[in-house]
Each structure stands twice: as C-alpha cells, then as structure tokens.
Amino acid sequence: MNFFSKFFEKLPKEKIINGLIFLLSALFLTLLLSSKYYIFQSIMENGLSKRDIVATKKIEVVDVDKTEKRKRDLAKKVDPILTPLQNDYILNNYRNLISSIKNFREKDLSKKERNEEIIKFTDIADSDREKQALVYLVNTSDYNFNMIAHEGEQTLKEMLSMSISESELDHIDRIISRKINPSLTAKQTQAVLVLIKQTIIPNLIEDELATEIARKNAANSVKPIVVTFEPGSKIVYEGEAISPLKKDALKKAGYNVTELNFLGLTGLFAIVCVCMFCFLFYLTHFDSKYATPRYSLLTLLLASLMIGFAISLPFNVPVYLLPFPAFAMLIAIFTNQKVSLLTSTLLIILMSVSFQYTPEATFAFIIESLISIFAVGKLNYSRRMDLIKMGFEISFIEVYAISAIYILHNNFSTEAFLLDVTMGVVSCLISGIIVLGIIPILESMFKIITPYGLAELADHNQELLKRLQFEAPGTYHHSLMVSNLVEAAAEAVGANPILAMVGSFYHDIGKLKRPLFFVENQSYFSIENPHEKLNPKLSKMVITAHPKDGLELAKEYGLPQEIWPFIIQHHGDSIASYFYNQAKQQEGAENVTESQFRYTCPKPNTKETAILMLADAVESAVRSLSNPTQEEVEKLIDKIIQDRLMDGQLSESPLTQKDLKVIAATFLRILRGMQHHRIKYHDNVIEELNTKTQTQQTQKTKPVQSITISQNKEAKNND
C-alpha cells in the first residue's frame, strides 16, 4: 500500500484525473455495448432455450455440419490421380542387379567363403523358393545365366509396356508368371521371377497435388444445405438445446448469439480501451486544439447515442437503419473531416465487433460515413437546408453499396433486398434531419461554435451588431472593412475564413462602453475630441480598456468562447503610440516609459487573431490617408507588418514569413478595390451633351429623343 501511495503522490493530479475519466468512460461504453448480450442470455440457460422463439421473417441458414460432411464424403470418393514414371529407371535397376550377380559369379573364392557370401546375398529374398532361385543363378552355367538375364529383361520390358499401379503389386507373381517364356524350365522360370520382383516398382504413382485439387473441386461442387425458417415458424422450442445451426438462425433473426461471461467482458473492455486510446492519441499529437474535455465529452455522447440506438433497434429491422452518416457529419461539423474520419471508423469497428455485424454491413457503414464526411466539406453553412439535400445525395451511395453487396452474393431474396435498401435510404434521409435539429442543442450544451453558429453570429441583426450600428456607427463600418480584409487573408493562408470574419465583426464591441472616445465615431456625430481635455495617460487608459470591456460584453451577451480571443488579443501588448508620443512632448521623454502606454492583453496565438491584428491596424492607417497611391498603400502595409513583427506581437502566432507575404498581397488587393476612384466629369458636360443631341436631331429625318438636363444630373449623381 505504501508503494502505491508514493507512486500516486508523484503523479501529477491532472494525469490522475484524466486517467480516471478515461477508465470511467471505457467502463461506461463497455457496459453499454455489453447490455445487448443480456438479451440473448435471458432466453437461454445452460445451453437450453427458456422459451419459444418464432421467426418474424423468412430466415435461410446454411447447415454447416451437414454441408461439410457431404463435402468430405464426396472428396473421399475421388480416386487418386496417377502419373507415369520413367521406365528407364526400372530397367537400369534390373541391369544393375544382373551386373551385381555377374560380378559375384566371377569372384575367386574358396568354397567356404563362397557359401558365406551366398548366404548374405540371398538375404534379399522373401522366401525359400526365391533363395534357391538366387543360389541357382549364382551357380548355373554362363549360358543359362545369360539366357535367364535376357529372358528376364524381355519379360520386364513387356510388363512395363502396360501400366503397373501400387495395387497390382499384391498379385505381381501371377502377372509375371503369365509373361515369362513357357519354354523355360521351372528353375529358370523361378529365377526370372525373382529377378523381376527385386527390381519392379509401380510405374504409375499418385500425383498428390493433382489429387488434392480434384478432391477440393469435388468438395466445392457441393451446394450448401440450406435450412429455411418461414415467418411464423419456431426457430427454437422451450427446453431445446441451441445448436450451432439454431444460433445462426437466431443471429439472422436479430439476436446476439454470444454469451458474455467475465472473460468476454474483459476482452470487450480491452477493445474499447484500444479504440479510445487511438482516438485520444490522434487528438493529442495531430489535432491538439480538439484534445479538450468538451470535444471528448461531445464524442462520447454521440457515440453513446449511436450505440443506444443500435441496442434499441428491433430484431426484425435491418441494421442499415443505423444513422452513421449523422454521426460522421456531426463530428466533422464540430471538429474537422480528419477527426471525423478516425472517430467514425473506430466506432463502426467497435460496434461491428461487439454486435457481430456482417462484413457487408460494416462495409456499407464505412462507405456511407466516408461520403458524408466528404460532403461536409462542400456545405454552404449559410443554408441549413443543404443538410437535408445532402441526406438525399448520400442515400444514392447507400443504395449503390447495398446493391453491390447483393450482386456479389448472386443469390438473394428480393424481399430482403428491398427492405435493406429502404432502411439504408431512410437512414441517410433522417441523418440530415437529425444533424439539422441537434446542432443548436449540442452547441448550447458544450459551448462549441460550429460554422452554422458562426453564420448566425454574422447576421447583422444580432443585438450587439445592432448596437454597434446605432451607438458606434464608425466602429461598425470599420469592423466591416476589417472583416473583408481578414476573411480574404485567412482563406489565402489556410486559416478559417468564417471564424475570422465573424471574429472581426465583434472585435471592437468594447468601444460600446465609451463610443465617443474613439475618433471614427466622433466624426460621425460631429463632436469635439474629448481627449483634448484629458492628459495622455488617462486617454490611454480609456482607449486600452476596450478589449477587456469587449470581453465583459461578450460574456454578458453569451458570445461563444471561440470569439473571445478576437476581442482580447487584437491589440496584444502593443503600444498606444499616439498618446505615448503626446506624453513625451508634454512631460518629456525622460519622464515617460513605453510600458506605461502598452495594452495589457495577450498576444494573438492563432492565425485568425494574428491576421485580425494586422488588418485592424492596416485599415485604420489607410483610412487616415488622403487619396493614397497604390505604392503608398503597399509601403504602409509592409511597414505595419514589420512594426508588429519587430515589436514581438506575432511571436506566439503560427504565421510564417511566407504567410505574412501572402497576407500583405491580399490586403493590397482588397484595399485597391476599396480605394477605387470615380471618373471626374468637367463642369460643362451637360451643355455639351445637349448641344450634341440637338445637332443629331437636325441632321436626321427621324426624331431622336433628347437627353434632358434632369437625366444628366441624375447620371452625374449616380457616378
């Protein structure tokens, strides 16, 4: 116990809490997934059915045991496939034997030694008759020996001309005897018989590979023995032992046929832990901004809802009704497509393994989820009904996938096919409706803003934006101009343009506290600058307070946390240079420090907020210029970016030097469109146009409608 207490004392509390949350989440998912197993366990006990179970649809099950037995029986009936052996091999063996006997005959041995060698030599014989025949061969005359050897070779050749199999060796004596020359004596005939028996082997041997292929082909030709349960028929009776065949039938009827004991529960828990670890590892190392409790709890909730839906699905309803597209779309909308791809795949694998879905169903789930994730990237978030339209489009892919599966099987029930396709289409259609309805609820629960929420915040009828329009119109117009710059630059460098644009709308809401202290609003209301009556330090306090004032307003009005950084970070800890320089003039440079005139806010730490800082400064500076040229605007943009860079304001942002060049070019392009000049007409343009019209009327026979002075005035005003 002391060891464990010391071990946990050394661990950071945050890691202990995260570990406990991980274990509790894994246990929760394990119990949720295992709950469906109890449905099957409740209908059986000790392998016996506790009640009658009736088929609610036509169920066809392959009797695996009978089918395999029939395959084995048919494979055994296939005769071995024989292949001929080269006859030269057998003839060479015969000639070698004759040569050995001839050498033995020519040895110069004493009678005793010769008898001893004959005993050793005749050990190869199987019977006394054969031994006597070998002795005769050793002791006979050369004429007889050569004649016997010749007759034996001729007889062997005649036998090899016919096929000799392994089974024919059992009665080879009778076969050889019929082939030997009948004119030979009994001893000579016996000698020839012994010589041939010692060398002959089957010249037809079994081709094991060909035989195995033939037997497999025979086994594969056996059609599966199918047992059919018609609707209303009983699959199992009360008290009946549940055989493998009946388990397969129950599985097709929708029952989970695996009994989950403690060991099985442990295995399921291990699978859940592996999937959760893969998910968290990816977020931590590759998408760390989503590695927060909010996103983890959101994913856990959506996964639990999917599992709960699967558990509650009636046995007679195809699993294709499961709305996996809704899960994939929601994760993609709340995070991104990569996270959704990983999460959807892990959930499908987890549920398929736990609930024993067929490989075909798993394939369909993965395909429809992938298409859903791809489709999210093409959504127009300002039109919510696009989600319903996307559900229709995904349904075509679902029909295609299910049809491909059935075509692959090549033997299917039309009724089952139509039911599966219908459920797949319904799943895709309701997925769009589910996503459309649940997004606002999830946004409110987890305080996560989605592109749909951002699109709502971009509506200029929002209360804070309405207040800006009426209470600080100059600030409102400035925010609109900045948003154009920020949106274009964010898109150019791969940031989130929607988030950047909406954040720009609200970045200056803090000025609503004291709108008349900001120069853009003073000119609109035609009032004197109140800072002329304040000392620079007090003016600085009023001006630099607007980011924090804006954060308070954001919290008061319930703006999502994703917008807060735009409000508090868009000035960083930069210096209020106007009041700093004014203070140096009034109080002397030695009595003023830069730190007294800096904002006390965090620096931008994302691409979007950093772009806003630059766009805010650029738009204000360009607006202060009178009819600037393109070169002047370009130099001003470069100077502002360099100043912010040298001041360290971009030190915490992920912007690169390349990004800054792209941002500068984008700012210049947008500002060039904002700063376009109208054509200036000279004063007597109206008189010239009237004179020209009158001249044309006198030269032509047909009257021409003249351009009136009022029309020309209107044209001038429009220009």
The Cα–Cα gap between 355 and 34 comes to: 9
- 141-155, 199-213, 253-267 — most confident range: 141-155
The 10s digit of each residue's pLDDT in 521-574 is 877 777 777 877 788 888 888 888 999 999 999 999 989 888 999 999 999 999
The 10s digit of each residue's pLDDT in 229-242 is 777 777 777 777 77
Residue 328, classed as helix, strand or coil, is: helix
Percent of the chain, pLDDT > 70?
Answer: 79
Contact 81, 208 (CB under 8 A): no
pLDDT score for 384? 75
User: For the ranges 42-46, 215-219, 414-418, 686-690, which has the lowest average pLDDT?
Assistant: 686-690
pLDDT score for 112? 63
In this prediction, residues 266-279 reach a mean pLDDT of 90
In this prediction, residues 89-100 reach a mean pLDDT of 78
Burial class (CB in 10 A: 0-12, 13-18, 19+), 354: buried
Please list, residue by residue across 666-705, b when 16 or more beta carbons sit within 10 angstroms of its beta carbon and e when fewer do. Answer: bbbebbeeeeeeeeeeeeeebeebeeeeeeeeeeeeeeee
- 65-69, 595-599, 655-659 — most confident range: 655-659
In sequence order, the β-bridge partners of residue 44 are: 49
Contact 525, 516 (CB under 8 A): yes
CA-based Rg of the chain, rounded to a whole angstrom? 48
pLDDT score for 301? 93
Greater confidence (330 vs 123) lies with: 330
3-state SS, 97-137, equals: HHHHHHHHHHCCCCHHHHHHHHHHHHHHCCCHHHHHHHHHH
pLDDT score for 151? 81
In this prediction, residues 483-500 reach a mean pLDDT of 92
Greater confidence (167 vs 432) lies with: 432
* Confidence label for 90 from pLDDT (cuts 50, 70 and 90): confident
Question: Mean pLDDT across the chain, nearest whole number?
Answer: 80
Cα dihedral: 247, 252, 255, 260 (round 10):
50
Domains of the chain listed by start with CATH number: 7-20+258-448 (no CATH), 82-206 (no CATH), 465-674 (1.10.3210), 686-718 (no CATH)
The Cα–Cα gap between 388 and 430 comes to: 8
| Confidence check: pLDDT of 578 > 70 | yes
The 10s digit of each residue's pLDDT in 134-169 is 777 777 787 888 888 888 778 777 777 666 665 666
Longest dimension (CA), the chain: 160
Residue 499 token pair: 């988030």
Type of residue at 232: G
The Cα–Cα gap between 481 and 476 comes to: 9
In sequence order, the β-bridge partners of residue 49 are: 44
| Confidence check: pLDDT of 632 > 60 | yes
Give this prediction's pTM.
0.63
* Confidence label for 465 from pLDDT (cuts 50, 70 and 90): very high
The 10s digit of each residue's pLDDT in 663-718 is 999 999 998 876 554 444 444 544 555 565 555 555 544 443 433 333 333 333 33
pLDDT score for 167? 60
| Confidence check: pLDDT of 7 > 60 | no
The Cα–Cα gap between 227 and 600 comes to: 79
Type of residue at 451: P
Residue 396 token pair: 């075509």
